[in-house]
Amino acid sequence: MAIISGLIRGVIVAGKRRAVLAPLLAVALLSAAPFSSAAAAADGQQVTPEQAFSAVLAQADGGDAGALVTLGGFYAEGFGVQKNFSLARECYEKAAQAGSSEGVYNVGVCWEIGMGSAADAERASGYCRRAADMNLPQALFKMSVILDSGSGVARDEKASIEYMAKAAEARHPDAAGIMGLVYLNGLRGQKKDPSEGMKMLNIAVSAGNVEAMKNIAVVYKDGLGVKASPAEALKWYTIAEKCGYPAQALSAVKSDLSAKLTGEQRKKAESDADAWLERAREAL
């Protein structure tokens, strides 16, 4: 069904809109595992990129698979060390050999984008499937995308939506956002289930997915499985906008909703949006 293929492709591009309620170090397209160090744990002590690299290197040399994944990310991004894609790939391969699902996934990404070797979609899909079989959320999502596009594998819409559902249940935010729309509209052979759809959208929202915030607003605006509520819709459009959704794209619909509300109702919707955002920040 073209609508889901469009959604999947759109998530990859539109994911850049997502709110960053708690900024984290992002290492290119690759998954990086957390690391620990005495220096980082010191109360109030600032850790330089070079110190972080040294701490991770020491852990990786000790065979820590998670540290190997993080070290690969440091090499890939040039964080605390000169950028070196070959060494990044080597770290991911060692982590994969040690049984790390993140390592397996990142080796797949290396094959996908041609990091340290020529790109090979078939090998990329094979590693991604291995990581998905280890229930790594981002691999489950990626495998759905691969099967939907037929990149390195035979295209399989049924298997694609199965992987997407598994990724959503594992709380992958983009997968949850997509499955929310699938269940709300009964797409891809799934039974229409507004309750499950809202559950999925809320999982995506809890991870800061701005598209899901906007889609919850649409649910309340159009009454998709819930009682239509201009006030609740305006609240969620406001949340989405304050979290980074382009204001211009929402201005017309927000004006229409505001026209249906009293001044007090509009003020309350704004206040409720601010209260929701404050609770989200506290939770993070």
Question: For the residues 76-103, what does the mean pLDDT come to?
Answer: 96
If pLDDT is split at 50, 70 and 90, which confidence band does 10 have?
Answer: very low
Please report, rounded to a whole number, the percentage of residues in the chain having pLDDT higher than 70.
Answer: 84
Model confidence pLDDT, tens digit, residues 135-180: 999 999 999 999 999 999 999 999 999 999 999 999 999 999 999 9
Residue 243 belongs to some domain of the structure:
no
Kindly state whether residue 271 falls inside one of the protein's structural domains. no
pLDDT beyond 60 at 125:
yes
- Could you tell me if residue 208 is inside a domain? no
3 lies in a domain? no
Closest CA to 1 of 171, 164, 205: 164
What does the pLDDT read at residue 24? 21
User: Is 248 inside a domain boundary?
Assistant: no
Which domain covers residue 134, as residue numbers?
50-142
Residue 193 maps to a domain: no
Specify the number of domains making up the chain: 1
Predicted structure pTM score: 0.79
172 domain residue, yes or no? no
Q: What is the pLDDT of residue 44?
A: 60
Is 264 among the domain residues?
no
pLDDT tens column, 239-260: 999 999 999 999 999 999 999 9
Q: What is the CATH number of the domain that holds 137?
A: 1.25.40.10
Q: Alpha-carbon distance 184 to 220, whole Å?
A: 12
pLDDT-based confidence at 225, cuts 50/70/90?
A: confident
